Amino acid sequence: MKRVTLIGGMLLLLFGLLASPCYAKSKSASLSVKIGQMLMIGFRGLSVADAPEIASDITERRIGGVVLFDYDVTSQSHGRNISSPEQLSRLTLELQKLSRIPLFIAIDQEGGKVKRLKPACGFPESVSAEHLGQLDNADSTRAAALLTAKTLKAMHIGMNLAPVADLNTNPDNPVIGKLQRSFSADPAVVTRNIKLITNTYRAEGIIPTLKHFPGHGSSTTDTHRDFTDITASWSEKELEPYRLLIASGYRDAIMTAHVFNEKLDPLYPATLSRATLDGLLRGKLGFKGVILSDDMQMKAIADHYGLETAIQLALDAGVDILVFGNNAAYDPTIASKATDIIKSLVAQKIITPERIDRSYRRIMRLKNRYHLNCR
């Protein structure tokens, strides 16, 4: 009797999966849809009416995600996408309503100095990773993570580009240590706190994103501004949080770093490095989730590679989602340009349809796991 019940349950599960809208569409999705799902785009505007370009990107190019900012770097102005909880809630609902495949709506809400949801706009205060690492107290870390998760959930934001898994090996690092973004120089402290945070996020339906692989904590320069070489400062110890978390079952999302590390690849920075992403992260560490690039418009990439070359190398390396924050630089046509480039690479047989399909399936698995079901 137990065996019959078990078999029956498995059949029901299989039939349910086959009947699910996202699964059915994944089998017949066009190349355009699959490419669109591999793009995460930033935009200007407090409402969809303010941002016709992103509306077209969602409805016509079928992009898979958007990323939100409170401050516009190129115009040096506040209020880019966020002015109040009421406004932001309306915006995210408007965006989701446009998309047949629900969007990853993403934000950098690390806490402390790096947060897009600020008290000045009516959001709760938050503490830094460094503060939590110094406390190294499970209750404190869970409470901070729960506050962040509930705040994001109330705003219909389903993906946090956090927590930071970088080790604080260089406290003078201008983009990690000095901004208090790392939990600790001790991999055990970093891993312990990240595990608490990611478990809390998952319980609230928020997708976590570990960053910046393979480690940005030892750098002396900022990849937003320039080429960043960590060959002399990086050590394998910086892989420990990833190694331990992946071994314990982490399979959500990981964001790359644009850092150059000759120890891992003598030619390319991590985002563009097959040895680093496909060889190390997927091969040696066994990561089966979604790989996001850091912002492809940051100067460490944009000032050294043309757009087509950067996209080709990132896809060849194993990136699943190309992030164009449209904040380090602003180009309202970037999604259209990226789409055309990827289609051209496929047409020229430089990138295979099978390669696109692998990323698409990983993206859809993550969306389905967090109940972002197609409509």
> 294, 295, 316, 320: which one is catalytic?
294
- DSSP for residue 221: S
| Greatest CA separation for the chain | 68
DSSP per-residue letters across 237-268: GGGHHHHHHHHTT--SEEEE---B-TTT-SSS
Are 41 and 326 in contact, with CB atoms under 8 Å apart?
Answer: yes
Which token pair is 313? 């190398």
> 57, 224, 252, 265: which one is catalytic?
224
* Kind and range of the H or E run holding 290: strand 290-292
Place of tokens 């990132």: 314
Does residue 294 carry a catalytic annotation?
A: yes
Does residue 258 carry a catalytic annotation?
A: no
235 Cβ contact list (under 8 Å, min separation 6): 169, 218
326 Cβ contact list (under 8 Å, min separation 6): 41, 42, 43, 44, 297, 332, 334
Please measure the distance between the N-terminal and C-terminal CA atoms of the chain and give it in whole angstroms. 37
How many contiguous H segments (helices) and E segments (strands) does the chain have? 14, 12
CA separation (Å) from 307 to 22, 121, 304? 31, 35, 10
Active site residues: 224, 294
